[in-house]
Amino acid sequence: MSSTVIPIAAESAARQRHRQQPKGRRVDASTLAEVRTLVGEGPHRRDLLIEHLHRLNDHFGQLGTSHLAALAQLMNLPQAEVFEVASFYHHFDVVHEDAAGAVPAPPLLTVRVCGSLSCSLAGADGLLQKLPALLGADVRVIPAPCIGRCEQAPAVVVHQHPLARATPDSVQAAVRAGLRQARLPAATRLADYVAQGGYALLADCLAGRRSVDEIMRTMESSGLRGLGGAGFPAGRKWRIVMNEPAPRRLVVNIDEGEPGTFKDRVLLETEPHRFLEGLFIAAWAIGAAGVHVYLRDEYHGARALLQAELAALRAHPPVPGLPEVDLRRGAGAYICGEESALIESLEGKRGLPRLRPPYVAQAGLFGRPTLVHNLETLYWVRELLDTGARHFAAQGRRGRQGLRRFSVSGRVREPGLKLAPAGITLNELITEHCGGLLPGHELYAYLPGGASGGILPAGLADLPLDFDTLQPHGCFIGSAAVVVLTKSATHWDRATDAARNLVRFFEDESCGQCTPCRVGTAKMRALIESPRWDAALLADLSQVMRDASICGLGQAAPNPVDCVLRYFADELETA
């Protein structure tokens, strides 16, 4: 009996030891040590996976599978899970070893050419064709989705160095000059902000001279709505989260990836502390136990600035008791602008939108009630509380309340970020704030709310640009990203071409989680490549995507196509 039992017991023990070893490829000691040196001794929490991937990708210029396996072992994660996160995001270059175990060398330099609608109008397609031969085989030239510099179109990024209004000559000169890193923006720094009265309002809040009830009354009566796209009343959102059990969290969404949108970048690059003071007041008001900022990876200069100013706040706090700000770096995924996908990314996962309910105000980051705002919404907090809700509400036109910041790009003389009254029309915006159209140009069409906001004809350029006014026309204001299309003696910005550009963007940026969006965007792109569109089939596909997609990407992706069929059918071939 004993001679039978002992081998069975030994075999069982061997199997147990085998199960305790991680699945996947074996990790050699030198690779593990190399990865540990780069990411540090800890912490190696699950939510830091993307931060660790950035360190490896920045150092090696890519992510080899051996290093991914070592990182998985260091973090005690399945290798498949680390690989699927790394391969989900555009800015991680995952490469495989060859049969001999060698990793292909990364390109010496990568040049990204923005292919968004605004940059395409300004000649990005020509740049993309000319640059590979001009820069040589050692430089990788690739198309990129919107990089948040639409007012500087065509925009190019040489490694991390952005070039405004790029030409073949300027890109070649930047490469030859060795320009690689983004410059630090010329912003208002901490000492100057404090000298101008900055953080006095926060000090009043923390000292009890301003009460939470007073702050909430101002926020709710001002009519301020979330300015990231959805337009939910900001004060009501604060109240909902405040009524949830502690601990609560505050998350700032600066992952503005909507083509045409760049306002958060401009505000951050000019007055970072006005935003930070609003952030600290919101955190105090809702009793946030954690403050987290998610900044899109394309904003390298803004990230360096924000890191420097947060360090200055730690070294010289203008008021005691400031919460620590957890600054996280996105990795190139438009879907992470959706709040629940952003939270998934903050937790170190793929940016897949969550099914709701529960809503993030109930169960958000790490399962806790979470207030999510974009930068501009928090940027308004100090001004609202300084001047009062009545003053803000009185600024609008045509019965609307407040002010709006519009990201304006396309065929205008003076593109850029424009502060204008709510309820202003496109014609007024162009005339009063953009210096008019380009010489010899006639307004043909416009996007009132970025890629997902639809396309309207010039005949509807006197509609108020505000929440709840454009929906009857098949559009919405969203993040107030306005792209202007025109006609002239030498060109015609066709709405059909704009729709093709936008649908290609949505197809590339779909996270792939749900079939209506994953398959629908690809099918819609294929259908509209033809000069003749099947209107009935497109309408059916559009309805399915709106009804069945999990999040706003799939639900809004058909808007450009629907608008072309509704307003620009004369551009299409007829049977």
Please name the amino acid found at residue 389.
A
Class of domain 190-343+358-389: alpha beta
Assigned CATH class of 495-571: mainly alpha
Q: Which CATH architecture has domain 109-176?
A: 3-Layer(aba) Sandwich (3.40)
How far is it, in rounded angstroms, from Cα 434 to Cα 121?
17
- Nearest Cα neighbor of 135 from 116, 109, 115, 157 is 109
Each domain of the chain, given as residue ranges in start order, spans 22-95, 109-176, 190-343+358-389, 395-487, 495-571
Q: Which fold has domain 395-487?
A: Ubiquitin-like (UB roll) (3.10.20)
Each of the 575 residues of the chain gets a pLDDT tens digit; together they read 444 455 565 566 555 555 555 567 889 999 999 999 999 988 899 999 999 999 999 999 999 999 999 999 999 999 999 999 999 999 999 998 877 778 889 999 999 999 999 999 999 999 999 999 999 999 999 999 999 999 999 999 999 999 999 999 999 999 999 999 999 999 999 999 999 999 999 999 999 999 999 999 999 998 888 888 778 999 999 999 999 999 999 999 999 999 999 999 999 999 999 999 999 999 999 999 999 999 999 999 999 999 999 999 999 999 999 999 999 999 999 999 999 999 999 999 999 999 999 999 999 999 999 999 999 999 999 999 999 988 888 888 998 888 999 999 999 999 999 999 999 999 999 999 999 999 999 999 999 999 999 999 999 999 999 988 999 999 999 889 999 999 999 999 999 999 999 999 999 999 999 999 999 999 999 999 999 999 999 999 999 999 999 999 999 999 999 999 999 999 998 64
Nearest-angstrom CA–CA distance, 235 and 212: 12
Q: Label residue 390 exposed, middle or buried (CB < 10 Å: 0-12, 13-18, 19+).
A: exposed
Q: What is the second-level CATH architecture of the domain 22-95?
A: Orthogonal Bundle (1.10)
Q: Is 150 helix (H, G, I), strand (E, B) or coil?
A: helix
Q: Which residues pair with 364 in a beta bridge?
A: none
